[in-house]
Structure 1
Amino acid sequence: MNTIFSIKEVTNKIEHFCTYQKRCHEEVVQKLRALKMDPEEIDRIMVHLIPDNFLNEERFTCSFGRGKHRKKHWGKIRIANELKSKRITQTLITIVLKEIYPDEYDATFNALAERQLGIHTERDTLKKRNKFCDYMLRRGYENNLVFEKVKELEHLEYG
């Protein structure tokens, strides 16, 4: 038994933790471990959180994916990789990626690409292209989108 906090105290803390921001199971388990809870206590608390809807993996996944795309302008690859690192199932990842509408995704990609190209003052075309590609790939956009955009912009640049 944990001597620092009672199960009730920790449960209340974790309920607040989950209410403040949507959380995935992995984040909650890590928080409980940080509070020095043993595996049986963690299981008891997790069993309480799920039916009381403090913890909902699908809700978390959808919120995370939409938020990272709309606010941080992440691409689908980065969103999927971040969710995998949080041990989210492939089924839920597929659901959230389908919720990102193609028109919205393309508009975000194009706006980010235009802004990024406007930032670079690099005169060397090869260096400029490499910086652009590296940035867009780090943001999690698909290779084919990034390379098509580079070709399109080079075509416009050289007429």
Structure 2
Amino acid sequence: MTFEQALLKASHICARQEKCIFDIQKKLNDWQVEPNIAQRVIDQLIKEKFIDEERYIRFYVKDKFLFNRWGKIKIRWQLKAKQISGKQVDTALEQINMGEYRQALAQLLIQKKRSIKNDDPFKTKASLIRYASSRGFEPPLIYQILDNEVMSDNK
């Protein structure tokens, strides 16, 4: 595949959906683009603002929290899997409203509690802790919300 062909295909992908460098590198590898051409394509996409890591991080964090209801730990790990870490990730995660974050966790736990068919409160609590942890929420926050909001009433 030539530089122009690869650039055209990659720019179409970036125009449809926000992508990071890792995503485009993976696509270029899938298309069997030579490494030197792939790097030129990525450099050109960055230059033309088709790829902007900071913008990608902001949208990724916002989308994964709002739509997937992921916690900060899972979001951070998923970004790390895409070879994105550092100050920009920290800044984007700090933008999540803590009130909305706590409310999202409480809602997830209440919904999950309703689906658990177990009368033993200890087993129920353990199940809820595992569930919230798998969603990427912080253990101290999980315990606090479980004790104060979820397990204290009959929701």
TM-score, structure 1 as length reference: 0.90
2:76 is equivalent to residue 80 of structure 1 = yes
The 3-state SS of whatever aligns with 2:142 is helix
Aligned position for 2:46: 50
Structure 2 unpaired stretches of 5+: none
Which letter maps to 1:125? P
For structure 1, the 5+ residue unaligned runs are none
Give the number of aligned pairs. 153
Tell me which residue corresponds to 1:16. 12
> In structure 2, how many angstroms separate the alpha carbons of the residues matched to 1:9 and 1:156?
60
- Does residue 103 of the first structure (1) align with residue 96 of the second (2)? no
Runs of 4+ residues over 6 Å off in structure 1: none
Cα distance, 1:155 vs structure 2:
4.1
Q: What amino acid maps onto 2:71 in structure 1?
A: G
Shift of 1:27: 0.7
> RMSD over aligned Cα, in angstroms?
1.3
d(CA) in 1 for partners of 2:102, 2:22? 31
SS of equivalent residue, structure 1 residue 129: helix
Deviates more, 1:25-34 or 1:148-157: 148-157
Which amino acid letter does the alignment assign opposite residue 20 of structure 1?
R
The answer (yes or no) to whether the contact 2:76–2:85 under 8 Å persists in 1 is: no
Q: Quick one: distance in 2 between partners of 1:8 and 1:150?
A: 55
Q: Distance in 2 between matches of 1:40 and 1:104?
A: 45
Match of 2:119 among 109, 120, 123: 123
Q: So what's the TM-score if we normalise by structure 2?
A: 0.92
Distance 1:104 1:154, change over 3 A: closer
* Deviations 1:43-83, CA, capped at 9 Å, x for gaps: 11111100101100011111010000000111111111111
Decide which of 56, 61, 64 is 1:65's aligned counterpart.
61
Cα distance in 2 for partners of 1:45, 1:100 equals 33
